[in-house]
Amino acid sequence: MLNNSYWSEQYQANNTYWNAGSITAPLKEYFDGIEDKNIKILIPGVGHGHELLYLYRNGFTNVTAIDIAAEALEHIRIEAADFPLDHLILGDFFEHQGAYDLIVEQTFFCSLQPELRVNYVEKMSQLLADKGRLVGLLFDDCFKTEGPPFGGSLVEYQQLFEPRMHIQKLETAYNSIKPRAGRELFIIIERKND
C-alpha cells in the first residue's frame, strides 16, 4: 500500500517526478473560464499545489486541499502563508467528507493503486454536489514500469466512470506540457443525480 510514509519519503528524497513545475495549460484554461469564484473546490493529492496557488491568487475564495503527505501541505504553507490553514487537510481522501462544485484531478488518480480506482469513482460521486464536476487530466498511457504513476486508457476510463457519472469530455488534451503531449486526456465528468 502506498501510504503516507511512502509519499513523505518521496518528498524528503526530492523524488517528485510528477511535479510539472507550474499549473498545466489545460487546467489553467479551464479555471480561467470559471466566472463564479466562490464555488467550493477540492484538490485531492494536492502535491506542490500549483493548481491551488493559481486559484487562490486569482480570487477563488473556497479552495480546499487534501494530501496524505505533510510535506506537500508544508510547501503550500510556505508558498502562500496567508492561505487559510483550515483548508489544508492532512488526511486520507477516502475518509474525507464534504460537497464540492468542482474537484480537480491532477496526478492524484495515477498515484493510486489500480485496485482503488472503483473506490475513487465512488468517492468522487459522493463528494460532488448536484451538478458538481470532476475536471482534470488522466494519463492515456499504459506505462511499462511499475507505478506510481499507474497508467490507463480512454476505454478503461469510460468503463470505470460511466456507471456512476456522466462523461462530458474525455479527449486528448491539445495543450499538455511537452513531456506529456499526446499522453493525457482532459476530462470533464459530472455527478449523476440519484
Count the alpha carbons within 13 Å of 31 in the hemisphere toward its beta carbon.
25
Q: What is the mean pLDDT of the chain?
A: 91
What pLDDT, on a 0 to 100 scale, did the predictor assign at position 2? Answer: 67
Indicate the residue type of 153: S
pTM, rounded to two decimals: 0.92
Quote the CA–CA distance of 85 and 150 in Å, as a whole number. 31
List pLDDT tens digits, range 54-99. 999 999 999 999 999 898 899 899 999 999 999 999 999 999 999 9
Residue 74 inside a domain? The answer is yes
CATH code of the domain containing 63:
3.40.50.150
Residue 67 inside a domain? The answer is yes
Residue 4 has pLDDT above 80, yes or no: no
User: How many H-runs (helices) and E-runs (strands) does the chain carry?
Assistant: 6, 7
What pLDDT, on a 0 to 100 scale, did the predictor assign at position 3? Answer: 73
Residue 26 has pLDDT above 60, yes or no: yes
Using 50, 70 and 90 to split pLDDT, how confident is the model at 155?
very high
Quote the CA–CA distance of 81 and 84 in Å, as a whole number. 8
List strand residue ranges (DSSP E) for 49-150, in order. Answer: 63-67, 88-90, 100-106, 128-139
Percent of the chain with pLDDT strictly greater than 70: 90
Bridge partners (DSSP) of residue 88 are 65
Domain interval for residue 93? 4-14+24-191
Residue 151 has pLDDT above 80, yes or no: yes
Residue 1 has pLDDT above 60, yes or no: no
What pLDDT, on a 0 to 100 scale, did the predictor assign at position 177? Answer: 81
User: Cβ(47)–Cβ(149) under 8 Å?
Assistant: no
Residue with cell 496524505: 68
List pLDDT tens digits, range 171-188. 999 998 888 888 899 999
Residue 98 inside a domain? The answer is yes
- C-alpha cell of 110? 495515477
Residue 19 inside a domain? The answer is no
User: Cβ(101)–Cβ(124) under 8 Å?
Assistant: no
Residue 118 has pLDDT above 70, yes or no: yes
List pLDDT tens digits, range 32-64. 999 999 999 999 999 889 999 999 999 999 999
User: Cβ(95)–Cβ(119) under 8 Å?
Assistant: no
Residue 51 inside a domain? The answer is yes
Among residues 179, 183, 177, 106, the alpha carbon closest in space to that of 139 is found at 183
Among residues 29, 31, 46, 155, the alpha carbon closest in space to that of 102 is found at 31
Q: Which residue did the predictor score with more confidence, 5 or 171? A: 171
| Count of domains observed in the chain | 1
What pLDDT, on a 0 to 100 scale, did the predictor assign at position 136? Answer: 97
Quote the CA–CA distance of 43 and 92 in Å, as a whole number. 12
Using 50, 70 and 90 to split pLDDT, how confident is the model at 8?
low
User: Cβ(71)–Cβ(11) under 8 Å?
Assistant: yes
Count the alpha carbons within 13 Å of 142 in the hemisphere toward its beta carbon.
5
